[in-house]
Structure 1
């Protein structure tokens, strides 16, 4: 982490205009980070969040970048470094979900899931590996569906399984720089991404899949990311934390 006591550590959170990403941005700002709220298209939401966090005494700005575009990710890091002098934390949260049996997934949907969930995370990891200050943190968002392997989630879960593999490998490749690389794999979490298109009966059934018998909240996931991004999480490296209430 940034050891200069007069400066806040700097965190980029991709896809953080709403949902889990917004909760992560808010938690990291509360923890004392200067937070870059990245968005692809939801400019108003991102700027409103940045304004709210600033009003609460935090430091936050909104920056646009399509994570599937490597040049856009480079510009995101460029702009962050120009504003704050460096980057200490990258949270790869940006992602999309499309549910369909594998036999019914068309090429366009497959390519978009891979471009954002897998290549987008890769683009962020690659840039962070080159540019994060020593002692930094990379936290990737996966999914507990990698373990549960539920029907219709095949391509989505596959992109996240690849993210988990890259997480473990990058943690070894950054040997000697005191940078940790971990993944957080939420279970069913009450966000628009999860709730959209699901019948109440299905939501109720999924909320009971874990022993705590409730859906996770964005704040639940943000708390795990906060730990991994902190000095207290410095001995956790190359791991996947399944934040799902004990589902699997």
Structure 2
């Protein structure tokens, strides 16, 4: 591993657990100064700060009023934004409530969109924006209408942002993890479902947060400068 991000500043949303935690660890190991957000996992945020030196900022993505606070530590300039934080729950369309709709679309689409907007004047030319989607936009499952829709919308916003920010050499990409062994995945799947997901993955296992973080670190680094508007499926061959 090289210190390819030395001198860079990164902001990672939802960085205390799961994929986000692995991203913070990887970007910090690659030399970046990292700020990350967390919602309720205060102990996990503290331990990550102690481990990596990354700065933790509490944030509730269901409330746009918390948005300005997450950018305070990076007012002097930003190089990398990773929109990772999200919520997921299974709900058949026949049981969806307006509250369900507002919660998922605000957390997974609205907040990341306005975080991207807030980042634009802070991003240095040649910066990186990486939005985390899901393989579920390509492999929709019963009960996942709201989650898949929220992520599909973010994918489209990513493509438009890539066009708009291209003149500044700012790249904007999506990473869509496959079945990745996190608390979120286990909360919406049965053990049998997880076994089946591993079985249909070409590499014959669930992904790890570190697997996905490596892909994100590539997009955050100098070797990805000619990739923008793309969607990298980081799923070990779950979808081919």
Quickly name the TM-score band, shorter chain normalised: over 0.9
Cα distance per residue 1:14-49 (max 9 Å; x no partner): 011110000000000001000102112222211210
- Assess if the C-alpha contact under 8 Å between 1:47 and 1:61 holds in 2: no
In structure 1, what is the equivalent of residue 43 of structure 2?
44
Q: How does 1:99-138 map to 2 (within 5 A)?
A: 99-138=90-129
Instruction: Please say if 1:223 is aligned against 2:223.
Output: no
TM-score, normalization: structure 1? Answer: 0.91
The 3 A distance-change label for structure 1 pair 170 and 141 is: same
Unaligned runs of 5+ in 2: none
Moved more, 66-75 or 138-147: 66-75
In structure 2, what is the equivalent of residue 57 of structure 1?
none
In structure 1, what is the equivalent of residue 172 of structure 2?
181
In structure 1, what is the equivalent of residue 191 of structure 2?
200
Greater fraction strand: 2
Moved more, 122-131 or 64-73: 64-73
In the comparison of the two structures, how many residue pairs are matched?
235
- Assess if the C-alpha contact under 8 Å between 1:37 and 1:50 holds in 2: no
Moved more, 34-43 or 9-18: 34-43
Secondary structure of the structure 2 residue equivalent to 1:175? helix
Cα distance per residue 1:170-214 (max 9 Å; x no partner): 010113211000010001100000012532211101111221111
In structure 1, what is the equivalent of residue 27 of structure 2?
28
Instruction: Please say if 1:160 is aligned against 2:154.
Output: no
Secondary structure of the structure 2 residue equivalent to 1:161? helix
Separation in 2, partners of 1:43, 1:9: 25
Cα distance per residue 1:96-133 (max 9 Å; x no partner): 00101111111211110011001111121111123211
CA RMSD of aligned residues (A): 1.5
1:68 deviates by 3.9
TM superposition outliers: structure 1 runs of 4+ over 6 Å: none
